[in-house]
Every structure is written in C-alpha cells, then in structure tokens.
Amino acid sequence: MPTPIWDLPTRLFHWLLAALLAFSWWSHYDHLDWHRISGFSIAGLLVFRLWWGIAGSSTARFGNFLKGPAGIAAYLKGGAAGAPGHNPLGGWSVAAMLLVLIAQVGLGLFAINEDFEGGPLTKYVDYDTGLAIAGWHEAMFNVLLGLIVLHLVAIGFYAARRKNLVGPMITGKGPLAEGVDAPVMAPLWRLLVGLLLGGATFAVLYWLNSQASAF
C-alpha cells in the first residue's frame, strides 16, 4: 500500500527548482532582469532547503540520507535498500547539486557582463574581476548540467529495474518495505519558519538589486 514518503514542501522545492533552472538558462541571453529575479528565487529556495534539511520531515533531513563510507557500502550490498527517501548515493548527489547551486547563485551576485550589467553586488568588485566571475558562473552551470544529466541517468537506471522515482516525487507516496518505519512529517510551524527564511532571502536580494540599479 502506498505510504507518504515525500512531503509537499520537498516536492514543491524539487519542481520549482527544476522550472527556475530552465527559466534561468533561457533568460540569461536577452532578459537579464528576469534572470536576476529567477536567481533570487533560487536563492530563496536554497535557503529554505537548507533549513528543511535540518528541521523538515525525516526523508528531507540531511542527517538521514548523507551516509559515510560504511553506509554507502551497506547500501551497495543491499543492506539499506528498504529505507524510504534518498539512498546514500542519491543523497550525496543531492548534496553536490545543492553545493553547486549555492556557488552558482553566489557567483551570479558578483558577475558582470561586457555592458556593465550584472548582479546586485557587482559594486564590490572591479570590472575585470566581475568579468572573470561571470566566466566562472557560466562554467559552474556546465557542472550543474552534468549533475542533472547524472540525475536523469539514475532515474532511468532505476526505472529499468522497475523502481519508479518520479511518481513518488509527484504524488508524495510510494511503497514501503515491510518492517521499515514510515517517514515522520514535520509540523506546520517549521514550514512557516522555512518560508519566512526563504522569502526574506529573496526580499533582501531584490532590495539590493534595486539599490544597485538606482546608481
């Protein structure tokens, strides 16, 4: 019988992030204002996810899916196959993607192009440094694309083994192995704190951008 595996905040984070990354890639060519807004939104999502990885539902918590070498070896031997949520390999791929996204957003705040357009913190770097950061920003996106490709390959690999990873991320429900405890969902107040943190992050970056545009 399907059991709640992924809570709604985790699922919304996943799909909103995917949509915003696609939008950011499209908008960086000719719509830099929209690109910045998308980047600020991603920053807010990342702050929310960091909070949710500490205080969220059990399957969303970093401590429950980031395992050391012994945990990874146990999984590869089939010892942790029934655990709900991310497996140890998938957990570290999530961590890698979050770290790359944090770096990507951070670089974008200081990046500048040949037309002296850039992020809200470009006034803190000189023109040549801002150009170099813009190059790193683009290179980091290629790293991110590589991680996304690996993610899609993993989904295909598990689908070939008759394990659906996409369905539970849409419905929130999936099969639970016998004898395995169901995930514990976080209370509403923790969600509200996360939304406040994410919203505040977006608001601060938007305000900094408006101040930079005023000069």
When pLDDT is averaged across residues 58-80 and rounded to a whole number, the result is 84
Mean pLDDT score across all residues of the chain: 91
Q: 77 vs 203, which has greater pLDDT?
A: 203
5 Cβ contact partners less than 8 Å away, ≥ 6 residues apart: 59, 84, 85, 168, 172, 173, 174, 176, 183
Pairing of strands 3-4, 173-174: antiparallel
Of 31-35, 114-118, 176-180, the range with the highest mean pLDDT is 31-35
Binned at pLDDT 50, 70 and 90, residue 85 comes out as confident
pLDDT at 215: 43
Structural domains of the chain in order of their starting residue, each with its CATH number: 3-213 (1.20.950)
pLDDT of 214 above 50: no
pLDDT, residue 213, reads 61
What is the structure's pLDDT at 3? 85
Alpha-carbon distance of 162 to 37, in angstroms, equals: 39
Question: pLDDT tens digits for 87-105?
Answer: 888 899 999 999 999 999 9
Q: What is the pLDDT of residue 79?
A: 60
Q: Can you give the pLDDT at residue 177? A: 73
